[in-house]
Amino acid sequence: MAEPPAPEAPTIIPLVGEARERAVPVIRDGFVGIYRWHAKRTLREVPTVRALEAGGEVVGIALLDRLAPEVGYVYYIAVLSSHRGIGLGARLLDDALRLFREGGVEVVYAAAQTDNRASIRLFEARGFRSVARKETNWKDGGLGAWGLRSRMRLVPGEQLLGLRLRPTQLASQNAAERQA
Ligand SMILES: CC(C)(COP(=O)(O)OP(=O)(O)OC[C@H]1O[C@@H](n2cnc3c(N)ncnc32)[C@H](O)[C@@H]1OP(=O)(O)O)[C@@H](O)C(=O)NCCC(=O)NCCS
């Protein structure tokens, strides 16, 4: 008897325009209450939506934004519960970090509820560390900490995580001056 075909490996695709509605089942599966409402709204507003597609179905999503040209923000990452624990969340995060890096982003932030162990582990496994909220002025000049925080829409019970992808322009200038 012939072997059944191997299940199609998920691939990452951009979701644009009305195709974003394909991500709604992942949001319904992954979030409840205010987070579900907010994730659906963000899905329609955010500049970049990446999706993992398998067998014609969206099984995971990442909603990405830039708070400033040098500051990336991961609003939401979610994987269908039937597909969790096999590295798909990590693939979505790696893809997001690659896009941010290629786009010249210096620092990436994400927020997770302090009791969401899967989410915090996912980000920590990629080098994110917990950032005190007052530290969010990692960027040089221009956008102050308040401006960043208000765009992040953090709510009580959430932990802010950050990952520096490359030194800030100011740090690079200081290092160059020290060497000169
Ligand atoms: C968070 C989420 C996206 C993780 O997706 P996933 O595909 O299961 O994650 P992965 O299999 O890629 O695992 C990534 C890392 O998290 C760890 N992890 C995954 N699930 C975990 C759990 N329940 N408890 C602890 N760690 C967990 C993995 O061990 C792995 O770490 P490692 O590289 O050190 O082994 C998924 O649990 C989810 O969709 N949750 C609901 C939505 C949500 O809360 N999103 C985050 C807030 S925006």
- More confident site: 60 or 137: 60
| Minimum CA distance residue for ligand 1 atom 38 | 78
Which two structure tokens, joined as six digits, stand for 142? Answer: 């221009």
The predicted pLDDT at position 142 comes to 38
pLDDT in tens, 73-100: 999 999 999 999 999 999 999 999 999 9
Specify the ligand 1 atom closest to the Cα of 31: 42
Summarize the confidence of residues 40-55 as an average pLDDT: 96
Residue 121 CA, ligand 1 centroid: distance in Å: 6
Summarize the confidence of residues 44-72 as an average pLDDT: 95
pLDDT in tens, 95-135: 999 999 999 999 999 999 999 999 999 999 999 998 876 65
Q: Would you say 71 and 107 are in contact if contact means Cβ atoms under 8 Å apart?
A: yes
Give the HSE-up count for residue 149: Cα atoms under 13 Å, Cβ half-sphere.
Answer: 15
Instruction: Say yes or no to pLDDT of 160 above 50.
Output: yes
| pTM for the full predicted model | 0.88
Strands of the 71-79 sheet, one edge to the other: 11-14, 48-54, 57-68, 71-79, 107-113, 158-164, 129-130
Collect all residues with Cβ–Cβ distance below 8 Å to 71 and sequence separation of at least 6: 105, 106, 107, 108, 109, 138, 139, 143, 148
Specify the ligand 1 atom closest to the Cα of 80: 39
Domains of the chain: 11-179 (3.40.630.30)
The rounded mean pLDDT for the chain is 87
Q: Would you say 55 and 8 are in contact if contact means Cβ atoms under 8 Å apart?
A: yes
Task: Indicate the SS3 state at residue 160.
Answer: strand
